[in-house]
Amino acid sequence: MAVPQVDKKMLGELEVMGFPAVRSIRALHYSGNSNLESAINWLLEHESDPDIDQLPLVSREISIECGDTSSEVRNSVQGMSLNLGMHGYLTKRNRGLLLRFTDYRWRICIHEKLIYSKTHAQARKPEEQTTAGSQKETSEVERELNANEHEEEDRKRVLALHKSKRDEEEKARGRIRNQLQEDKRERIQAAKDVIEAKRTLEENQRKRMMESRKAEQEEEKRARERIRQRIEDDKAERRRGLGLPRENTVASAPIVTLAKVKPIEPVVTSEQLRDCLRTLKKNHKDDNARVKRAFQILLKIVANIVKNPEEERFRRIRLSNPVFKDRVGNLQGGVEFLELCGFQKLRNNSYLVMPRGKADVALLNAAGVEIASAMENPYFGLLSK
């Protein structure tokens, strides 16, 4: 038995298409090596056969030329007898020669048949060895195919992992990009708020200066009226001392009523706020993280009051609060900054309170601007003397 011979070209094309070598050989053998389409159709129709993965075996034909067969011997004898008869030599002696020749030819034929059977038996063993070798080659081919399949699965798994990792990196880059855009929008909005706060602060300062000048002018006017009244009283007193008649005045001097002047509140400038923050940074320059936390707490307090000026919980700070005390209260300049923003200490020094209606939004905006500038500038408070 031996493996059938198939078309090598069509076998290679079937293997390129992904069909196993054993199945391809079987399909080509049973489809008659006619064409590629017939082999593919045979594979699709017989893919569920139990012996689909076994190589087909065919019997090997061994042609051994033996001597004369019985017919050939008979023909030879007849030819020989005919020749002898034609020549007139078929005598008793010729008959004996003819019989000996016939017996010799039959012995040669039997001997050749024995040699043929022995040779056929010996040839069967190599065929069996060839079958075992073919099965071994088939198992090796199957192992190689399985190894290729495992390698393909590993490659697909690696590609899937690489793709998932690349998708995660793309998502992370997208999140970072969105965060950068959001930070940019916040910086733009913060810059707008800073410009608006500066404009409002300058306007309030200008109004305060005008009110201050107006109050000073009124005070000067009242002071001049008081001086004039004293001069008139002194003049009348001297006339009475000299016995002179009282001077008749056509019109009585206007009576000046001194009104109670409201004290002018000191104006807090941006420079004062900046100096307070600079002092806080200088006193704790070795602990930048603590200074940054203090700035963040101060900015949050100011921002809450600006957004909700009527909320009392934002305008009232307990000085004994552990968080506030650790992050702001124990730092020199923290409480002073809040006092500049409008907070006042109660008599028992237990709370910082901003009275209702006393929240100066412009001042608080300016304070927020100064805090933000101090947080963004890494050299804030370090270069100045």
Task: Domain count for the chain, please give it.
Answer: 3
Query: Do both 33 and 73 map to the same domain?
Result: no
Residue with tokens 């192992």, as numbered in its chain: 143
Q: Among positive and negative, which fits the CA dihedral 135, 139, 141, 145?
A: positive
Q: How many CA atoms lie within 13 A of 60 on its CB side?
A: 18
* CATH at 44: 1.10.8.10
- Given this model, what pLDDT does residue 176 score? 95
d(CA 267, CA 213): 13
| Contact by Cβ (8 Å): 69, 109 | yes
| Residues 126-143: b if buried by 16+ CB within 10 A, e if exposed | eeeeeeeebeeebeebee
Q: How many CB atoms lie within 10 A of CB 24?
A: 21
- Given this model, what pLDDT does residue 279 score? 86
Rg for the chain, CA atoms, rounded: 62
The residue among 12, 29, 59 that closes a domain is 59
CA angle 147, 148, 150 (to 5 degrees): 65
Domain contains 381: no
Q: Would you place residue 171 in the very low, low, confident or very high pLDDT band (cuts 50, 70, 90)?
A: very high
Query: Do both 80 and 53 map to the same domain?
Result: no
Query: Do both 25 and 75 map to the same domain?
Result: no
Residues in Cβ contact with 1 at an 8 Å cutoff, skipping those fewer than 6 apart:
57, 58, 59, 60, 127, 128, 130, 131
Query: Do both 26 and 83 map to the same domain?
Result: no
d(CA 277, CA 334): 8
**pLDDT single digits (tens) 271-317:** 888 888 888 888 888 888 888 898 999 999 999 988 888 888 888 88
- Given this model, what pLDDT does residue 52 score? 83
Query: Do both 74 and 48 map to the same domain?
Result: no
Tell me 341's DSSP state. Answer: T
Query: Do both 50 and 91 map to the same domain?
Result: no
Residues in Cβ contact with 15 at an 8 Å cutoff, skipping those fewer than 6 apart:
21, 24
- Given this model, what pLDDT does residue 88 score? 44
**pLDDT single digits (tens) 221-278:** 999 999 999 898 888 888 777 666 666 544 444 444 444 444 445 577 888 888 888 8
- Given this model, what pLDDT does residue 67 score? 47
- Tell whether the model's pLDDT for residue 128 goes beyond 70: no
* CATH at 359: 1.20.58.2190
The residue among 205, 234, 250 that closes a domain is 205
Query: Do both 13 and 125 map to the same domain?
Result: no
- Given this model, what pLDDT does residue 103 score? 65
Domain contains 350: yes
Q: How many CB atoms lie within 10 A of CB 241?
A: 8
Domain contains 255: no
| Contact by Cβ (8 Å): 327, 320 | no
Domain contains 24: yes
- Given this model, what pLDDT does residue 252 score? 45
Domain membership of residue 313 as a residue range:
270-376
Q: What percent of the chain has pLDDT over 70?
A: 74
Domain contains 211: no
Mean pLDDT within 366-381: 84
CA angle 226, 230, 232 (to 5 degrees): 115
Query: Do both 45 and 96 map to the same domain?
Result: no
State the angle between helix axes of 21-30 and 36-45 in degrees (0 to 180), rounded to the nearest 10.
110
* Average per-residue pLDDT for the chain: 78
Residue with tokens 């409002």, as numbered in its chain: 200
Domain contains 238: no
Q: Would you place residue 174 in the very low, low, confident or very high pLDDT band (cuts 50, 70, 90)?
A: very high
Domain contains 358: yes
d(CA 96, CA 104): 12
- Given this model, what pLDDT does residue 177 score? 92
Query: Do both 27 and 77 map to the same domain?
Result: no
- Given this model, what pLDDT does residue 100 score? 63
**pLDDT single digits (tens) 324-365:** 888 888 888 888 888 888 888 887 778 888 888 778 888 889
Between 142 and 66, the higher pLDDT residue? 142
Domain contains 169: yes
Query: Do both 67 and 183 map to the same domain?
Result: yes
Q: Would you place residue 94 in the very low, low, confident or very high pLDDT band (cuts 50, 70, 90)?
A: low
Alpha carbon 22 to chain centroid, angstroms: 46
Query: Do both 65 and 201 map to the same domain?
Result: yes
The residue among 205, 220, 244 that closes a domain is 205
Query: Do both 199 and 65 map to the same domain?
Result: yes
| Contact by Cβ (8 Å): 345, 316 | no
